[in-house]
Structure 1
Amino acid sequence: MTRWLFLLFIGVAAVAAGIYAYLGGFRAPEVTLITTSQPIYLAGRYFQGRADSKEFGPLFRQAQQLQESGQLRGDLGNVYYNDPEAAGDTVKAFVGLIVSDTTTQALPSGYRFSTFTSGQRVVRARVQASYMVAPDRLYSGIKHFAEAQKIKLGKVYVERFPAQGPVEVLALVK
């Protein structure tokens, strides 16, 4: 009986590792220091509060529904204005979609535009992975790169989750 449980455990672990690999969990991010050449426009909602609050999660789902319905065209994206780990789980974020411009789409009720201006030095991390596993890979890649290059990071992070192509995070450099 013990042998069967052990084999079952090994089988479940192998399936879990296979799913994690399929989602891109073992891929290393590509991390570079760049200067943004174009502004990034976001259509969304601002949130300030606890990351585990009941209001935070629905913001992501609403943005995804607006994208899927075609009401807004763009990539899922967020701007974090602080590091929740360092701020005791308090989040300051703008959650929504990264859009191509601010003139061609009407905003849904409660949404507004925000802009991440061009000409800013950022550490950019990219990886071809699912949005479920990518953020951990990207943030750890950014932190390791910044430490190795002796770069001080600001507290602003832009996340982009396109339907096709690599997921990316931009971290503002002080």
Structure 2
Amino acid sequence: MNRWLLILFLVVFVGGASVYAYLGGFKQPEVALTTVPQPIYLAGQHFKGRADSPGFGPMFRQAQQIKSSGQLHGDLGNIYYNDPDAASDSLKAFIGLVVADTTSQKLPAGFHYTTFFTQQQVVRARIEASYMVAPGKLYEGVKEYAKRHNLKLLQVYLERFPDTGANEVIAVVGI
């Protein structure tokens, strides 16, 4: 009986590790200090409140549905105006899509545009991994890089999850 439990445990462990590897869980992000050369436009909705509030999750699903239906073209993207890991009770965010510009698409009801900082120093982390594991790895990479290089993060983060290519987090750096 113990032998079968050990075999079952090994199969489950190897299966879990294989799925984690397939999702990109063992990859490390590429992190660098850079400047955002031009504005990054987002179409979406503002959110302020608790991350576990009933309205927060549906905003992500709505952005995905709007993208999938073709109402807006762009990459899923969010701006957090405070650290999403540390601000569970007072999260400030803009949830929506990163779009090419603010003139070529008609916005769905309730959506509006915002712009991410331009010409400022940022720490950019990129990884080719599933959106299920990418955010944790990206935020960890940004924070470790900032700590290692004595940079002050201003707690403004842009997340971008394209259909193809690398997911990224861009964090604004203070002077």
TM-score range for the pair, normalised by the shorter chain length: over 0.9
| Identity %, equivalent residues | 60
Give a deviation string over 1:32-68, Cα, whole Å, max 9, x none: 0001101000000000111111110010010001111
What displacement does 1:88 show? 4.2
Match of 2:129 in 1: 129
Match of 2:62 in 1: 62
Structure 1 counterpart SS, 2:102? coil
Q: Point out 4+ residue stretches in structure 1 off by more than 4 angstroms.
A: none
Q: Report the AA paired with residue 38 of structure 2.
A: Q
Matched ranges for 1:134-149 at <5 A = 134-149=134-149
Match of 2:52 in 1: 52
TM-score by length of 2: 0.97
Match of 1:159 in 2: 159
Q: Report the AA paired with residue 52 of structure 1.
A: D
TM-score by length of 1: 0.97
What displacement does 1:149 show? 0.5
Matched ranges for 1:82-121 at <5 A = 82-121=82-121
- Unmatched 5+ stretches in structure 2: none
CA distance in 1: counterparts of 2:162 and 2:84, whole angstroms: 23
Q: Report the AA paired with residue 136 of structure 1.
A: G
Match of 2:40 in 1: 40
- Unmatched 5+ stretches in structure 1: none
Total equivalences in the alignment: 174
| Alignment root-mean-square deviation, CA | 0.9
Give a deviation string over 1:74-105, Cα, whole Å, max 9, x none: 00000000013333442110000000000000
What displacement does 1:9 show? 1.2
Structure 2 counterpart SS, 1:155? strand
Structure 2 counterpart SS, 1:131? coil
Q: Do the aligned partners of 1:84 and 1:90 also contact (CA within 8 Å) in 2?
A: no
Q: Report the AA paired with residue 64 of structure 1.
A: Q
